[in-house]
Amino acid sequence: MVAVFSRKKRGNRQWCRVRPWVAAVAMTLSAAPVRLAAAPEYGQPGPHAVGERTVSVPRPGGGSFTSRLYYPALTGGLNAPLDPAEGPYPAISFGHGFVTDPERYRSTLEHLASWGYLVMATESSLGLLPNHATYAQELSLCLTYLETENTDAGSFLFNQVDIARFGMSGHSMGGGASILATAADTRVRALVTLAANETNPSAISAVASVSVPICLLTGDSDGITNWQQNSLAMYNNASAPRQLPLIRGGYHCGFLDSSILFCDSGSISRAAQLAITRRTLTAFFQLYLKGDQEAWSLVWGPAADADADVDASRRDPGISLTPAHVAAGGFAGRTVVVDFLLKNTGPEATSYAVLHEGATWPTMVTPVQTELLSPDQTEPVQVSVTVPEGVVGLLDSVVVSARSDLDGGTRGFATVETRGLALGDCDGDGDVDLNDYIGFEACLAGPAQPTPPGCACFDLDEDGPVTLRDFGVLQVNFGGA
């Protein structure tokens, strides 16, 4: 544990500041696990029964195509009555893979509906020679259908569609088409693709025009759509907030309820991959379409880092809080102040709410709300942790996050780990020992002399200079841990 303090007085308040160079050293230490409040089990079915209907979606120039609609219902089943209790509901348009009937995604689509979403799964573009541009338009037309039904007093969806909260998703070819659709459709608020494939026109090129949060979920053992040639290329061409979660052992057909001809396989079971998929889709859409802040840690925070099933290292929220981890320490009744630098690394100007969670010791952050920051602009953030009595040797951890006001969901985060120290343990090793005596001797000053730089910790009686009176305090605490 590394901790060095300078102590000042602000009125009657005693506080300790972790020096910048100490913070830099602390970054090399292993961060302790941070325990936040448990998020809902997004991989488990939601609270709603699920209804299903086949609907006819009109084309602008005439004609129509069919789509399956899954929705929250009073009772489950075909043409079941919609449950209006929590409406209006956000909506998601989902694109199937090449010659893959949307029936093979039923479990995932029903899962989303059970969490309170209207899910449109088009049955168009199932032929051997699909037009990807047309397919992308069809995905958007599914959302237009919902908009129209929302205003039709004779529709079972009348006033039940939240037209301000649309999402897009799709698998393989449908994933690529969903990128094309999102790039052209300003109504879409969030996009999640499953093993997205390149399309014509290019989804890899079009993703540069996507201005909403994007999650490019894929498997690292995909034998059909190489993730490095497709999803990684899309990630590299996308703007923040962007992420590429890699399911360890995941495969292309693991996103289906059952395999089709020429399917691949991976090292995990289909059931395991589908559970990860449902959890990821639901958490992402809950955060961005419903403003469910309990989902943030699974999407951008410590829970994503701790997920053993998914490599979440390719994650760029467009927000930087540095250093990423600080290990500090303080004496009982005093306050440790840690400095961070918040930077807007995204493509658009935004302000941020600065929050903290997980601490059991009194903790505060300043500011709690930033001004508008342009890209590459920074603002200092301070975290103050007051060390209670009786906690020598104990640790407390806090997660500090900056949440973008642009979308209300994207966050960057850092952690502070604070150890309670015995009075006089100025090297922060957990004991008042010979090393502290040596440090004290180097800091000993005459009565009229100012405290030398770096020696404020040894002013144990808090009278200003480091004198022999402080030595008495050090002796009393010798061996304290």
pLDDT for position 4: 35
Torsional class of 376: left (φ above 0), alpha (ψ -120 to 50), beta (otherwise): left
Is 49-316 assigned to CATH 3.30.870.10? no
Candidates 269, 230, 82, 258; CA nearest to 158 is 82
What letter does residue 226 receive in the DSSP assignment? -
Is the CB of residue 286 less than 8 Å from the CB of residue 292? Answer: yes
Give the residues of the chain that fall short of pLDDT 50.
Answer: 1-32
Helix (H, G, I), strand (E, B) or coil at 481: coil
Pairwise CA distance, residues 120 & 16, whole Å: 56
pLDDT for position 446: 55
pTM for this prediction: 0.88
Residues 6+ apart with CB under 8 A from 61: none
Helix H or strand E encompassing 441: helix 434-443
CA R_g for the chain: 28
Q: Give the CA dihedral 77, 79, 84, 90, nearest 10 degrees.
A: 90
Range 5-30+317-421: architecture per CATH: Sandwich (2.60)
Residue 111 main-chain phi, psi, to 5 deg: -60, -45
Candidates 374, 382, 370; CA nearest to 348 is 374
pLDDT for position 7: 36
Residue extents of the structural domains in the chain: 5-30+317-421, 49-316, 434-476
CA distances from 71 to 7, 79, 114, 288 (A): 60, 10, 7, 19
Indicate if the alpha-carbon torsion angle 358, 3, 435, 452 is positive or negative. Answer: negative
